[in-house]
């Protein structure tokens, strides 16, 4: 008993928790198939709830002939499908697609409840072409081949598991199942933390020990006899299932016969005469009386008791109790029919595990009821999974839907997407030179930079920067307070750099929709991304900055350019890669810019050359053109935002909103009982808990399920590992859709540039920045793949901006200073 458990490679049954979940929760009409012995049994199990849960069962037994169990796999499963069809016809249920539980009493590797790969045949079975195959798939194939009925196979269950579940229906303490019949096996409820093959550490899972294989590694050699070895040599599977060959009903009659033959040959029995019956394998049944039978059957009971004791001691250790109280569900012809077997087994178990109260409960209805109960649970969970999949299917966009987004984006009217001119007419040419100050405002942080640009043979850009926080009360206070805070940060930076007396040229990266009238003048159209400072919309933000500098009366700056962060990103990347003519931000917000032909920019005079336009594509869809793909969760996030009805595209694909979409989905799923035990915590009610960094961590391929659960618990969400799986899937579909939507927008941009230039094929580079693009494990890949699929005539290279948009703002300022100097010289 001490060496039994460590010597087996357990097969987990994919059956979670104790059978208590079946009591008073499951109901319905189910079919159970039971294949594993000389007969094949089919049951119809009806579970109802009127005043209390009742179970009605009807069953029929079908023969499994020798030519079937020693023939081909196709023949076996065709036979099972034929019997099932006959059963359904007799019960007038051929027109129903009932959930089916399949009790399959052979060693299977299970990765999920409705899948079982046969490891090896045991007992009398030796059907070809089945080992290594999924038996559920083989049965489904046989049923489909018939075509006269449908069956929904929800679970494949070992007979020990079915027995445990059957007995667990009547006694909720039942946590062990044993079969002692033609073959032998056991299962028990193991702590999840001890099962290496399964992620998770809370709760329990049923493991199928397949203890018939105990001793295949040589551990039983000390007690195996010459008779055991002879039986093994003549079996269908020599060297395998050695323990089973010492204890199960299929073999102990043969053991008795071999012993009697030897005793007769030695003159100890039958006056030394050996009859033909005695020499015929299988002719001596287990009903032969006498001391030989008693010794062989008692050895069987003692060995089973010793191995069962190993399981009971494991349960006792797991529970950390001084005295174990448990129930063992038991079934099998040897246990039920042998007159002394059960008494001997019980007595030996109690002697080996004295600190225990073990009840042995005989399964009156075999393993069928248990298989039906497992099926009922699987059916309920499958219904949950189906509803979850249906909810998330709205986020799984088809190629046709993405093409519609691209087309709508391409043909959008000017009222939806602004296409704002930036007065940036070219990318850097390498002649830029000097020291420049750059400000970068667009999120919860504000950055001040000193950028030293050197031209010549060895172009260099040296940067110094400092990051300052912008408190929420400043973001949503008055405009004067906001710009005074900005100037205070600049003052601190100039002190830090020792440059307060120098009047430096300044470029202002301002990541909000502005209508520019010149390079150094931009009127704020609307705040986005959580900003709501008053008295700013409709005003020139450069003028507001200059006024704040004057109020400070400490220093003076030459504000040369106001730049959108997308433009700054494009310029930063264009300094290194001349083919960069598009800028993309995929971070807190989402936006893009590109070099447009002057002839297409209605607000600016002149047809020659190009100018960078700030698309402000976050507002795409504000006219309702995206309503077909917006979900109820998108609408909920929009309704509770600071700017309802605005920036709808951005709210579907930017980091600021993805976490809120996820949170709203999780709340809905919790209300429907799929998550967090149906309890909506105060944490889940809190807006903004799912930051982009948490989504990125949860979706990381390298993160195990326990680590995902740890992140959720850190956020105050008491989740199980099952919850963690669902949360990870929700995060995945939301971020995948974001990548697709962003990719569809970019595909429209590159195709427009290609058509503008009359090209069959376009090679172009996109400068890109933003936390979502940089940190999320899958967003960038999904976006890039979507662009490839939707714009096949364009070869698009994405270049990550290592220096953010601040360097680009300084470069634009440098270009502005150079052009201004050239104009003055003229």
| Structural contact between residues 38 and 67, judged by C-beta atoms closer than 8 angstroms | no
Give the span between the Cα atoms of 194 and 650, in whole angstroms.
Answer: 46
Nearest to 810 by CA among 450, 473, 541, 498: 450
* CA trace torsion 317, 322, 324, 325 (10° rounding): -150
∠ Cα 285 287 293 (to 5°): 90
Residue for token pair 């033909």: 276
Strand partners, 191: 204
Nearest to 567 by CA among 510, 521, 618: 510
Give the span between the Cα atoms of 707 and 290, in whole angstroms.
Answer: 61
Nearest to 627 by CA among 635, 639, 619: 635
User: Active-site residue numbers?
Assistant: 447, 511, 565
Give the span between the Cα atoms of 65 and 69, in whole angstroms.
Answer: 7
∠ Cα 553 468 470 (to 5°): 90
Residue 695 backbone class (left: φ over 0; alpha: ψ -120 to 50; beta: rest): alpha
Give the span between the Cα atoms of 815 and 140, in whole angstroms.
Answer: 70
Q: Would the CA dihedral through 643, 620, 812, 611 be positive or negative?
A: negative
Q: Which residues contact 296 (CB under 8 A, 6 or more apart)?
A: 252, 255, 256, 259
Strands (E), 610-682: 610-614
| Structural contact between residues 808 and 563, judged by C-beta atoms closer than 8 angstroms | yes
Q: Which residues contact 332 (CB under 8 A, 6 or more apart)?
A: 178, 179, 180, 181, 182, 184, 249
Give the span between the Cα atoms of 79 and 88, in whole angstroms.
Answer: 14
Give the span between the Cα atoms of 623 and 646, in whole angstroms.
Answer: 9
Nearest to 178 by CA among 61, 349, 29: 349
Nearest to 424 by CA among 271, 633, 566: 566
Strand partners, 582: 594, 766
Please give the C-alpha separations between residue 276 and each of 128, 228, 281, 291, 292, in angstroms, as whole numbers. 33, 22, 10, 22, 19
Give the span between the Cα atoms of 403 and 423, in whole angstroms.
Answer: 31
**DSSP state letter for 134:** B
| SS3 annotation, 439-498 | EEECCCEEEEEEEEEECCCCCEEEEEEEEEECCHHHHCCEHHHHHHHHHHHHHHHHHHHC
Strand partners, 331: 179
∠ Cα 319 324 326 (to 5°): 100
| Structural contact between residues 814 and 434, judged by C-beta atoms closer than 8 angstroms | yes
Number of H helices, E strands in the chain: 26, 26
Please give the C-alpha separations between residue 67 and each of 63, 77, 126, 128, 771, in angstroms, as whole numbers. 11, 13, 10, 12, 66
Q: Which residues contact 11 (CB under 8 A, 6 or more apart)?
A: 107, 108, 109, 110, 119, 158, 207, 208, 210
Strands 324-331 vs 356-362: parallel, antiparallel or unpaired:
parallel
């Amino acid at each position: 008993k001490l060496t039994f458990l460590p010597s087996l490679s357990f097969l987990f049954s994919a059956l979670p928790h104790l059978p208590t979940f079946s009591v008073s929760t499951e109901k319905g009409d189910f079919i159970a198939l039971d294949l594993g012995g000389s007969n094949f049994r089919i049951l119809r199990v009806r579970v109802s709830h009127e005043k209390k849960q009742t179970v009605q069962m009807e069953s029929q037994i079908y023969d499994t002939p020798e030519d079937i169990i020693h023939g081909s796999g196709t023949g076996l499963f065709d036979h099972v499908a034929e019997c099932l069809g006959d059963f359904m016809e007799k019960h007038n249920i051929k027109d129903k697609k009932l959930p089916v539980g399949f009790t399959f009493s052979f060693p299977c590797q299970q990765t999920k409840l409705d899948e079982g790969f046969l490891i090896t045949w045991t007992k009398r079975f030796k059907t070809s072409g089945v080992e290594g195959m999924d038996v559920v798939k083989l049965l489904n194939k046989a049923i489909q081949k018939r075509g006269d009925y449908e069956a929904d196979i929800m679970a494949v269950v070992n007979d020990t598991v079915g027995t445990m579940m059957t007995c667990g229906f009547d006694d909720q303490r039942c946590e062990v199942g044993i079969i002692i019949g033609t073959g032998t096996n056991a299962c028990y409820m193991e702590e999840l933390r001890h099962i290496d093959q399964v992620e998770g550490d809370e709760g329990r899972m049923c493991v199928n020990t397949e203890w018939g294989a105990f001793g295949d590694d040589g551990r039983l050699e000390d007690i195996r006899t010459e008779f055991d070895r002879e039986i093994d040599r003549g079996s269908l599977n020599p060297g395998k299932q050695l323990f089973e060959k010492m204890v199960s009903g299929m073999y102990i009659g043969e053991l008795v016969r071999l012993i009697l033959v030897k005793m007769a040959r030695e003159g100890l029995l039958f006056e030394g005469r050996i009859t033909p019956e005695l020499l015929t394998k299988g002719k001596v049944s287990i009903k032969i009386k006498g001391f030989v039978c008693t010794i062989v059957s008692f050895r069987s009971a003692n060995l089973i008791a010793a191995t069962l004791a190993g399981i009971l001691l494991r349960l006792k250790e797991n529970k950390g109790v001084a005295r174990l109280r448990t129930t063992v569900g038991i079934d099998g012809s040897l246990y039920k029919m042998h007159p002394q077997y059960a008494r001997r087994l019980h007595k030996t178990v109690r002697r080996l595990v004295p600190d225990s109260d073990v009840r042995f409960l005989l399964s009156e209805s075999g393993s069928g009821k248990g298989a039906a109960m497992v099926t009922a649970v699987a059916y309920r969970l499958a219904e949950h999974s189906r509803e979850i999949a249906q909810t998330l299917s709205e986020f799984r966009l088809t190629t046709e839907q993405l093409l519609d987004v691209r087309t709508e984006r391409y043909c959008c009217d000017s009222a939806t997407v602004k296409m704002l001119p930036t007065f940036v007419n070219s990318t850097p040419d390498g002649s830029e030179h000097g020291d420049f100050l750059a400000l970068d405002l667009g999120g919860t942080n504000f950055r001040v930079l000193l950028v030293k640009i050197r031209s010549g043979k060895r172009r260099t850009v040296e940067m110094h920067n400092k990051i300052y926080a912008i408190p929420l009360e400043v973001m949503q206070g008055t405009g004067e307070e906001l710009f005074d805070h900005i100037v205070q940060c600049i003052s601190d930076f100039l002190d830090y750099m020792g440059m307060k007396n120098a009047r430096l040229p300044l470029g202002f990266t301002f990541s909000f929709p502005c209508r520019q009238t010149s390079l150094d003048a931009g009127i704020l159209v609307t705040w986005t991304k959580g900003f709501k400072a008053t008295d700013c919309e409709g005003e020139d933000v450069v003028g507001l900055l200059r006024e704040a500098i004057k109020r400070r009366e400490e220093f003076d700056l030459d504000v040369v350019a106001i730049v959108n962060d997308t433009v700054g990103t494009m310029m930063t990347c264009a300094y290194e890669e001349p083919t960069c003519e598009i800028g993309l931000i995929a971070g807190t917000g989402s936006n893009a810019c590109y070099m447009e032909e002057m002839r297409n920019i209605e607000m600016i005079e002149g047809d020659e050359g190009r100018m960078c336009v700030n698309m402000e594509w976050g507002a795409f869809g504000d006219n309702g053109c995206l309503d077909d793909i917006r979900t109820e969760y998108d609408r909920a996030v929009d309704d509770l935002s600071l700017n309802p009805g605005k920036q709808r595209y951005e709210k579907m694909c930017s980091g600021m909103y993805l976490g809120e979409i996820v949170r709203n989905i999780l709340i809905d799923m919790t209300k429907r009982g799929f998550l967090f035990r149906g309890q909506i915590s105060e944490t889940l009610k809190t807006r903004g808990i799912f930051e982009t960094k948490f989504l990125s961590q949860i979706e990381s391929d390298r993160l195990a399920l326990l680590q995902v659960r740890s992140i959720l618990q850190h956020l105050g969400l008491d989740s199980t590992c099952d919850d963690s799986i669902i949360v990870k899937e929700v995060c995945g579909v939301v971020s995948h859709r974001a990548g697709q939507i962003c990719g569809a927008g970019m595909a429209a941009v590159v195709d427009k540039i290609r058509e503008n230039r009359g090209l069959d094929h376009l090679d172009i580079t996109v400068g890109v920045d933003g936390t979502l693009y940089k940190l999320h494990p899958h967003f960038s890949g999904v976006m890039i793949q979507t662009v490839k699929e939707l714009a096949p005539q364009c070869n698009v290279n994405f270049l990550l901006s290592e220096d953010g948009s601040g360097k680009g703002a300084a470069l634009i300022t440098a270009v502005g200073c150079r052009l201004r100097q050239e104009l003055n010289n003229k």
